[in-house]
Amino acid sequence: MRIKVECSYNGSAFHGWARQAGQRTVQGEIERALSTLLRSEVSVQVAGRTDAGVHARAQIFHADLPALEGRFSDLSYLVNRANSLLGKDVALKKAEEAPAGFDARFSALSRTYIYRISPFRSSRSLFLNGFVWDVNFEPDLNLLNSLAPAILGLKDFASFALPNPGGTTIREVKEARWDRAEGAIESGTLQFTIRADAFARKMVRFLVGAQICVAGGKKPASWFFDKFKAYRDFPPLAPAEGLTLEKVDYPEDGMLETRAQITRAVRKREEIGG
């Protein structure tokens, strides 16, 4: 049977999501726990791979498991037992039998990330250590929000992302905005929310690095806008620790297989209008 699982993790001590020989990774830890419990090799497929140091609040993966018997037929019991074998920096939150046609990666409609920035280390909560990028100036929120709309739409992010062999850097961004965070812990931090159908490698961190470069007076706004018109050298890369995968959205159950077929088609530059 195929199960759909939501998990969260603090990426600080992980060498990214993807399994790598000799490295501690999120995928490797989860597969080890499930394989130990079920006494059968388990492989998991994720909605979106995260880099070393990147966190996740609600990552989604699927796994094809052998027939579950006894107490393991109760997926909440499976989750609790798996968590007892995992470190304190990764946890399975809930699991359910996946609907027909579900694929954690290809069925997804969008992923939402938030990048958090602390203008001055002395002014923010120590509970955010490892979850924000400390900068030594106060970025102009209005300036940042004058840059963010350029990110929206179907675009080639070649100037802001590392391509995978045989892949593409064309993505559709559906939301991009800057806000000042509220709440006792996050008060005073700035956060960049971005939602897209998918993300190319290091795309969010390059976009954040470029915008903060402009906000810090190192580059004019025109430099940022021009990077969307043709390939330019990569901007500064924002540190991984400020980035968190917040949410993955999926269509209604009856559209899962159709969505997966659409996602598997590699986009071409001719699809970009204007």
Is residue 78 classed as helix, strand or coil in its secondary structure?
Answer: helix
- 57 confidence band (pLDDT: 50, 70, 90): very high
pLDDT value at 129 more than 80: yes
Distance CA 96, CA 161 (A): 34
Domains 2-97 and 110-249 share a fold: yes
Residue 134 annotated among the catalytic residues of the structure: no
Q: Where are the domains of the chain?
A: 2-97, 110-249
Contact 166, 238 (CB under 8 A): no
Our separate counts of H helices and E strands in the chain read 6, 10
Of 83, 93, 101, 100, nearest in space to 30 by CA: 83
CATH 3.30.930.10 fits 110-249, yes or no: no
What are the tens digits of pLDDT across the range 211-269? Answer: 999 999 999 999 999 999 988 789 999 999 999 999 999 999 999 999 999 888 876 66
Distance CA 207, CA 236 (A): 9
Q: Which residues of 92-117 are buried (b: 16+ CB within 10 A; e: fewer)?
A: beebeebeebbbbbbbbbbbbbbbbb
pLDDT value at 204 more than 70: yes
Mean pLDDT computed over 33-59: 96
- Give the mean pLDDT of the chain: 93
Q: How far is CA 222 from CA 83, 146, 147, 159, 218, in A?
A: 49, 11, 10, 14, 12
Distance CA 195, CA 179 (A): 14
Is residue 224 classed as helix, strand or coil in its secondary structure?
Answer: helix
Active-site position among 51, 89, 140, 249? 51
Distance CA 18, CA 7 (A): 15
pLDDT value at 2 more than 90: yes
Of 30, 40, 110, nearest in space to 62 by CA: 30
Contact 151, 134 (CB under 8 A): no
Q: What is the DSSP letter of 20?
A: -
- 69 confidence band (pLDDT: 50, 70, 90): confident
- pTM, two decimal places: 0.94
User: Between 2.60.40.10, 3.90.550.10, 3.30.70.580, 3.40.50.20, what CATH number should domain 2-97 receive?
Assistant: 3.30.70.580
Mean pLDDT computed over 3-22: 97
Output phi, psi for 228, to 5 deg: -85, -15
Is residue 71 classed as helix, strand or coil in its secondary structure?
Answer: helix
Beta strands 90-97 and 2-9, pairing class: antiparallel
